Amino acid sequence: MTPLTLDVTSVSQIQTAANEIVSVIEKHLAVNFLGPLRMTQAFLPLLKRSKGSIINNLSLVGLAALPVIPSYSISKAAAFNMTQSLRALLAADGVTVHSVVLGPIDTDMNRGFNIPKASTESAARGIFDGLEKGEEDIFPDPVSQSIAEAWRAGAAKALEQQFKAFVPERTASAA
């Protein structure tokens, strides 16, 4: 939510407020979507050479919008969608692409929210455990774990597998 203070009789103040809202969405997309996309593009040659892994820190709110933080939710949904495409497109190169579907973790980001949160240590452990098990979608904390089984058996995951079959077969590319 972005609180706005303005005089509704002022056309210029209304316009400024509208611009402010648009810039919030742009900022979330820049950090949470374009940031990981550009990092992936830049490091892709190295990742292909090392047969590395991309691990994107996403969120439950990317699977279903948390309406009180719509811009953040949109950016995580976009990053989740991108993760699915990269996973399918880079498989032939031996690069694995993982989503980390985080629930509430005790960090600065949600310091003001009075809800149960997992510790950063346990979340980090959950991420590395999921990676070792080769999980595509990693649910590293108790809240996210509560939907893990249903997610993996659900319609959205089944569709992801179906759509993956549209990627033309190829051998690994050099860069």
Ligand X SMILES: NC(=O)c1ccc[n+]([C@@H]2O[C@H](COP(=O)([O-])OP(=O)(O)OC[C@H]3O[C@@H](n4cnc5c(N)ncnc54)[C@H](OP(=O)(O)O)[C@@H]3O)[C@@H](O)[C@H]2O)c1
* Residues at the site binding ligand X, with contacts judged by CB under 6 A: 31, 57, 59, 102, 104-105, 107-110
Query: In the complex, what is the shortest distance from the CB of residue 57 to ligand X, in angstroms, rounded to a whole number?
Result: 4
Give 41-61 as a DSSP string.
Answer: HHHHHHHHHHT-EEEEEEEGG
Q: Which is nearer to ligand X, 59 or 84 (CB)?
A: 59
Q: Which is nearer to ligand X, 104 or 130 (CB)?
A: 104
Query: In the complex, what is the shortest distance from the CB of residue 89 to ligand X, in angstroms, rounded to a whole number?
Result: 22
Query: In the complex, what is the shortest distance from the CB of residue 30 to ligand X, in angstroms, rounded to a whole number?
Result: 7
Rounded CA gap, 7 and 11, in Å? Answer: 9
Apex CA 20: angle with CA 19 and CA 25, to 5°?
95
Give helix 70-90 / helix 11-29 axis angle, nearest 10°.
Answer: 30
Residue 119's φ and ψ, nearest 5 degrees, are -75, 155
Q: Which is nearer to ligand X, 17 or 37 (CB)?
A: 37
Q: Which is nearer to ligand X, 95 or 118 (CB)?
A: 118
Query: In the complex, what is the shortest distance from the CB of residue 102 to ligand X, in angstroms, rounded to a whole number?
Result: 4
